[in-house]
Amino acid sequence: MIGARPARVDDQPIGRVAARRFLLDPAHRPLLVHSRRDVGSEVSHRITPGGGGEAGAAGAPAGHTDIERQAVSGHRWWRLDEFDLAAVDREPATMVEVIRQVLAAGV
């Protein structure tokens, strides 16, 4: 995962397996989740869908944990040119460039 940072509860890092996905619609607009950086925080960012697996769970992460679900405040399909110019925090910071590289490669 690009730009990964550990999940936090009471400022203690939690080690876990996590995955995020770039979901694009037919117009090549990415789906982004508007999420608070931490539960109860007013600081937010835009991230791709995904998340960490529950502690002790086998296999690949299935989606958001309960803590992550509490931090999500919405989602939206963005045009790349619009998102590139938007004054919003994003993770990874290079998200627009990564999506453009993937599209240019024809993936």
Q: Where is pLDDT greater, at 5 or 14?
A: 14
Other CB atoms within a 10 A radius of the CB of residue 46 amount to 20
CB 64 within 8 A of CB 73: no
Task: Kindly state the average pLDDT of the residues 77-84.
Answer: 93
1 pLDDT band (50/70/90 cuts)? very low
Distance, in Å, from the CA atom of 24 to the CA atom of 2, rounded to the nearest integer, reads 18
Distance, in Å, from the CA atom of 91 to the CA atom of 80, rounded to the nearest integer, reads 15
